């Protein structure tokens, strides 16, 4: 898939399908999403907001009362991008 065929990444996105900020069309594309937080790429991000400058990540192995990971909010500079596909 070329860069022009990819949907633009939203300002706020969550991986949890129950969230109102979940956009299924973005996840159905072949490309992976990369998130750079304070200059370092993170792979454990559950939700982000670029304009407000925060990400939500799991707090270790702690679970909430419904069995989902307990999330903490980290503030800083957030950049999102599509990861380039590896050449075969």
pLDDT tens-place string over residues 17-69: 999 999 999 988 877 899 999 999 999 999 999 999 999 999 999 999 999 99
The pLDDT confidence band at residue 3, using thresholds 50, 70 and 90, is low
Q: Is residue 26 part of a domain?
A: yes
Q: Is residue 21 part of a domain?
A: yes
Please give the backbone phi and psi of residue 50, each rounded to the nearest 5 degrees, phi first.
-70, -45
Q: Is residue 88 part of a domain?
A: no
Domains in the chain: how many in total?
Answer: 1
pLDDT over 90 at 73, yes or no:
yes
* Partner residues linked to 55 by β-bridges: 48, 74
Pick the closest to residue 84 from 8, 27, 2 (CA basis). Answer: 2
Could you tell me if 35 and 41 are in contact, meaning their C-beta atoms sit under 8 angstroms apart? yes
In angstroms, rounded to a whole number, what is the distance separating the alpha carbons of residues 23 and 6? 13
């Amino acid at each position: 898939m070329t860069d022009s065929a990819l949907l633009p990444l939203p300002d706020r996105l969550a991986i949890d399908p129950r969230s109102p900020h979940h956009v299924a069309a973005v996840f159905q594309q072949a490309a992976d999403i990369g998130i750079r937080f304070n200059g370092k790429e993170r792979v454990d991000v559950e939700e982000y907001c670029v304009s407000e400058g925060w990400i939500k990540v799991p707090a270790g192995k702690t679970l909430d009362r419904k069995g989902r990971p307990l999330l903490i909010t980290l503030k800083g500079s957030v950049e999102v991008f599509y990861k380039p596909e590896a050449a075969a």
